[in-house]
Structure formats: structure tokens, C-alpha cells
């Protein structure tokens, strides 16, 4: 089955072609970073307008890359939520209408299911069941995954998502949008001895349970930054030290909660997905901490951790292959709990 995937839930337009026989055959992305940079964050109306400008050229580009015609498509999958309503509607309208005009089935994909399944696009994918840690700009979720669409929520952030914490802290440190990758790059340049002078809280680790809280961390960083400023020590090196200590606190919290979830569920496979899973320090820490326990972390390559069309094409292809279809209505759900998804038989 040959499926077009369309992602437009936030500030990236991603299109990809997935063939259930051959795997991923084309993948194209347009990032709106430059468009939103001047505003220090995503401007929803500008995002929607840009998606509508980019979709057709990107479709032409993936078809050319694969050497396919529109007629070669057997299905269209598009992100229908969660995300920005206007941005979602652009992709949903485009995808649903294209499928209708070609007389082929369409599938409305849950963005976080796309993330969750992205590591399965890699060689040596994990078998079900596994625990998934989903860390993006809008969500931090620990999920028990028994199969496609068979998800049990184990824990989530009660305030900021992990990516949001990176972005807000980056802003505090004077770094440009999007903050996460900039903060990670700054942290990499830190002198470990200076970073060790800071120890930020690991929220909710001292309590049982699998929920997260990240909003207190940015206050801790703010306090530390102000103190260093008042003492006249807030140079580039000090900022890097603070960034590294912040990153360490987030990584430590995520890894320890993930270990706890694996133990609770009696699983030894952990899937980590979403934009924050591109973080190098997190990837190293997971490897170091899970292997001695006989557990293993499964991650996608960094380009498939952040938003992309490939994960939507793949999630859509799995569901379409299992016989699921989305009706003719064009809909989008800015809020959409993952646990509401229908199970599917594939995989
Ligand atoms: O999954 P994603 O691309 O979009 C959403 O669904 O939200 O995640 C974006 C989030 C942003 O908060 C971004 O700062 C963060 O992922 N992120 C990172 C890194 N790359 C992206 N955070 C830390 N380190 C990174 N290398
Ligand atoms: Zn995402």
C-alpha cells in the first residue's frame, strides 16, 4: 500500500510517501523557524498561511523524489490533532480533499501516535508490547503500548511539557526560538565543573507515581540567573553552566520516571519519541542507564524525532492496512486524548 502522509499541526509542513512493501520512499519538510523567529514563538495565523503555501510544492517534490504519480497513491493520511486548529485544518482539508478527488481512502492521524510509531521506521524496530515516553513541545506522556492503538496512559505532565520547559528556559537565558536545540547546543559547551555548582530540582521524583512537573524548574533557573547577574558572574560560560544543569535535571527526571514505568509494567523495551528525544544528552543517558538493567531504548533518527510527514504516513499506513477509514467529513481536534484512539489489528 502506498500512502501519502501530511503533517501540519504546528510550525512544520511535512510530507512523505510510505510504501508498506518498500518502506519510506520520500520525505520532505519545510520548517517555519525563520517565519516565527522575530516573534519569539509560533504565531498561529502565520503558521496556517504558510502551510497552505507549502503543501502543493512539497507534494510535487515528494512525488518527484519517489518517481510516483498521484495515481500511484492508495491512501492519504493527515494529522488531525492535537495541535493548532487553523494549522491542522489546512492539512486536513488538503489531505481529505485529495483522497476524495483520487477516490482513495483517507485517515485522520493522531499526532502523538505518529511520534510514538516513528522509531518503528528504523531498522530493528521494537516489538509490541513496550513502554513509550513521548516528549514534545506540547506533551509529556508515559504510555503502556500493547499494540497499535492499544494505549494506557501511565503518567503525564501536570503543567509544562518537557519541550515547553526547554523553550521557556531557553528564552530566560536569552536564546532564540526554537529554544530546545539552542539550549542543548549551549549546554554542550559548558564546563562540567561550573555546571556542577548548580543542582536544579528533579520535580516529583520523591513521590510515587509517573506524573511529571516541569514548571518549577524554570523558576529555579530564573532565580539562579538573577543571582549570577546580581553577583556580576553571568557571562557566556555561566549561562552554559546553567543550561547544562537544567538539561541534566530534565534528562535525569525523564530517565528515572521511564525506568520506574518499565519496572511497574514489567517491560524491557522503551520507545522514546517526540522533539525532545532528539536531545543528545537524553539519548546518551538512556543508553547508559537502561543497558545495565537488560532494558533497551528505541529511538528514531533525530530528523524523525521532531515533527515530520514520515511518521504520519507510517501511522496512517498501519491503520489503513488494518482496514480503518476516516469518513468524508473534514475535521480536526486541537485536543485529543491518545487513549481515545481505536485499536487496530496491524502489528
Ligand atoms: O515533537 P515536536 O517537534 O513538536 C511538537 O509536537 O511539539 O517537539 C518540539 C519540541 C520543542 O519544544 C523543541 O524545543 C524540542 O522539541 N526539541 C528539543 C531538541 N530538539 C527539539 N529539546 C531539547 N533538545 C533538543 N535537541
Ligand atoms: Zn510533534
C-alpha 178 to ligand 1 mean position (Å) = 8
Contact 130, 269 (CB under 8 A): yes
Quick: pLDDT tens for 293-312: 999 999 999 999 999 999 99
Give the model's pLDDT for residue 101: 98
C-alpha 40 to ligand 1 mean position (Å) = 15
Give the model's pLDDT for residue 66: 98
Dist. CA 248–CA 135, nearest whole Å: 15
Dist. CA 247–CA 262, nearest whole Å: 22
* Bridge partners, residue 106, by sequence: 76
Q: What is the mean pLDDT of the chain?
A: 97
Position 347 pLDDT exceeds 70: no
Q: Whose CA is nearest to atom 21 of ligand 1?
A: 275
Quick: pLDDT tens for 23-48: 999 999 999 999 999 999 999 999 99
Exposed / middle / buried, residue 72 (Cβ in 10 Å: 0-12, 13-18, 19+): middle
Dist. CA 114–CA 23, nearest whole Å: 15
Annotate 245-285 with DSSP letters as a single string. Answer: HHHHHHHHHHHHHHHHHHHHHT--EEEEESGGGG-HHHHHH
Quick: pLDDT tens for 89-140: 999 999 999 999 999 999 999 999 999 999 999 999 999 999 999 999 999 9
pLDDT (mean) for 49-56? 98
C-alpha 280 to ligand 2 mean position (Å) = 18
C-alpha 154 to ligand 2 mean position (Å) = 20
Quick: pLDDT tens for 224-239: 999 999 999 999 999 9
Q: How far is CA 202 from CA 44, 190, 247, in A?
A: 32, 20, 11
Q: How far is CA 296 from the centre of its chain?
A: 20
Q: pLDDT band for position 346 (50/70/90)? A: low
Dist. CA 150–CA 341, nearest whole Å: 8
Q: Whose CA is nearest to atom 10 of ligand 1?
A: 137
Residue 203: CA atoms inside 13 Å, Cβ hemisphere, count? 20
Ligand closest to the CA atom of residue 176: 1
- DSSP three-state, residue 56: helix
C-alpha 99 to ligand 1 mean position (Å) = 30
Ligand 1 pocket (Cβ < 6 Å) reads 10, 115, 136-138, 163-164, 166-167, 178-181, 184, 274-276, 278-279, 306-307
Q: Which atom of ligand 1 is nearest to the CA of 137?
A: 7
Dist. CA 127–CA 144, nearest whole Å: 13
Could you give phi then psi for residue 37, rounded to 5 degrees?
Answer: -55, -40
Give the model's pLDDT for residue 345: 84
Give the model's pLDDT for residue 78: 99
Which of these, 110, 143, 139, 149, lies nearest to 269 by C-alpha position?
A: 143
Q: Which atom of ligand 1 is nearest to the CA of 178?
A: 14
Residue with cell 495515481: 71
DSSP character for 207?
Answer: S
Q: Whose CA is nearest to atom 24 of ligand 1?
A: 279
**Residues of the chain with pLDDT > 90: what percent?**
98
Dist. CA 153–CA 337, nearest whole Å: 9
Q: Where does 103-161 have alpha helices with state H?
A: 111-117
- DSSP three-state, residue 188: helix
Q: How far is CA 274 from CA 46, 148, 198, in A?
A: 23, 17, 27
Q: Whose CA is nearest to atom 3 of ligand 1?
A: 306
C-alpha 306 to ligand 1 mean position (Å) = 6
Position 9 pLDDT exceeds 50: yes
Amino acid at each position: 500500500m502506498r500512502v501519502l502522509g501530511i503533517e501540519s499541526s504546528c510550525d512544520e509542513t511535512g510530507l512523505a510517501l510510505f510504501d508498506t512493501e518498500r518502506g519510506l520512499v520520500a520525505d520532505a519538510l519545510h520548517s517555519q523557524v525563520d517565519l516565527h523567529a522575530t516573534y519569539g514563538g509560533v504565531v498561529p495565523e502565520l503558521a496556517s498561511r504558510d502551510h497552505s503555501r507549502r503543501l502543493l510544492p512539497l507534494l510535487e517534490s515528494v512525488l518527484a523524489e519517489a518517481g510516483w504519480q498521484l495515481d500511484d497513491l492508495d491512501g492519504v493520511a493527515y494529522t488531525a490533532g492535537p495541535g493548532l486548529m487553523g494549522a491542522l485544518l489546512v492539512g486536513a482539508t488538503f489531505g481529505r480533499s485529495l483522497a476524495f478527488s483520487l477516490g482513495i481512502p483517507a485517515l485522520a492521524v493522531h499526532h502523538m501516535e505518529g511520534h510514538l510509531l516513528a522509531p518503528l521506521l528504523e531498522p530493528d524496530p521494537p516489538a509490541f508490547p513496550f513502554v513509550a515516553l513521548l516528549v514534545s513541545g506540547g506533551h509529556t506522556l508515559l504510555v503502556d503500548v500493547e499494540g497499535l492503538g492499544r494505549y494506557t496512559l501511565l503518567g503525564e505532565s501536570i503543567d509544562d511539557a518537557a519541550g515547553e520547559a526547554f523553550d521557556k528556559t531557553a528564552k530566560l537565558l536569552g536564546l532564540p526560538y526554537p529554544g530546545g536545540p539552542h539550549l542543548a547546543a549551549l549546554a554542550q559547551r559548558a564546563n562540567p565543573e561550573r555546571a556542577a555548582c548548580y543542582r536544579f530540582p528533579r520535580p516529583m521524583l520523591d513521590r510515587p507515581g509517573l506524573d511529571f512537573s516541569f514548571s518549577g524548574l524554570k523558576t529555579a533557573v530564573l532565580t539562579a540567573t538573577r543571582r549570577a547577574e546580581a553577583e556580576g558572574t553571568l557571562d557566556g560560560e555561566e549561562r552554559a553552566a546553567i543550561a547544562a544543569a537544567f538539561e541534566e535535571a530534565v534528562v535525569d527526571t525523564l530517565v528515572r520516571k521511564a525506568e520506574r514505568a518499565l519496572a511497574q509494567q514489567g517491560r524491557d523495551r522503551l520507545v522514546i519519541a517526540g522533539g525532545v528525544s532528539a536531545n543528545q544528552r537524553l539519548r546518551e543517558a538512556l543508553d547508559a542507564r537502561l543497558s545495565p538493567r537488560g532494558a533497551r531504548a528505541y529511538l528514531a533518527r533525530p530528523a524523525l524525532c521532531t515533527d515530520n510527514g514520515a511518521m504520519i504516513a507510517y501511522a496512517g499506513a498501519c491503520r489503513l492496512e488494518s482496514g480503518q477509514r476516516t469518513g468524508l467529513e473534514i475535521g480536526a481536534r486541537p485536543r485529543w486524548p491518545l487513549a481515545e484512539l481505536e485499536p487496530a489489528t496491524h502489528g
